[in-house]
Copies of this chain bind each other. A is one copy, B any other.
Amino acid sequence: MLRRNEVAAGIKDYILRHHLKPGDLLPTEAELCEAVGASRSSVREAVKTLSALDIVEVRHGHGTYVGRMSLAALVESLAFRGLLSSEDDHLVLGEVVDVRQNIEQGFAPQVAQGLDTDQLARLRTLAAGMAEAAERGDDYLELDKQFHLLLMEPLGNDLIQQLTGAFWEVQSIVTPTLGSEHQGALTLTASLHMAIVEAAEARDAAALRTAVAAHYDPIRELIASVRRPSTA
Task: Say which residue of B52, B87, B95, B155 sits within 8 Å of A19 (CB atoms).
Answer: B87
Contact status B99-A160, CB under 8 Å: yes
Tell me the interface secondary structure of chain A in the complex.
helix
Task: Say which residue of B60, B78, B103 sits within 8 Å of A69 (CB atoms).
Answer: B78
Chain B neighbourhood of A76, CB < 8 A: 53, 55
Interface residue A39 (Cβ < 8 Å from any Cβ of B):
no
Given A52-B52, A105-B106, A159-B92, decide whether A69 and B73 contact each other with a Cβ distance below 8 A: no
Chain B neighbourhood of A203, CB < 8 A: none
Chain B neighbourhood of A15, CB < 8 A: 84
Chain B neighbourhood of A96, CB < 8 A: 159
Chain B neighbourhood of A98, CB < 8 A: 155, 157, 159-160
* Docked complex Cα distance between A73 and B166 (Å): 14
CB-based nearest B residue for A157:
B95
Interface residue A163 (Cβ < 8 Å from any Cβ of B):
yes
CB distance from A187 to the nearest CB of B (A): 29
Chain B neighbourhood of A80, CB < 8 A: 12, 55, 69
Contact status A16-B84, CB under 8 Å: yes
* Docked complex Cα distance between A15 and B85 (Å): 12
Interface residue A83 (Cβ < 8 Å from any Cβ of B):
yes
In chain A, positions 81-103 with a C-beta closer than 8 Å to chain B are: 81, 83-84, 87, 91-92, 95-96, 98-99, 102-103
6 residue pairs from A and B, CB less than 8 Å apart: A12-B80, A53-B76, A53-B77, A71-B77, A71-B78, A95-B159
List of 7 A-B pairs having minimum Cβ-Cβ separation, nearest first: A52-B52, A106-B106, A95-B159, A73-B73, A102-B106, A69-B81, A74-B74
Using a CB–CB distance below 8 Å, which chain A residues touch chain B? 1, 12, 15-16, 19, 21-22, 45, 48-49, 52-55, 58, 60, 67, 69-71, 73-74, 76-78, 80-81, 83-84, 87, 91-92, 95-96, 98-99, 102-103, 105-107, 155, 157-160, 163
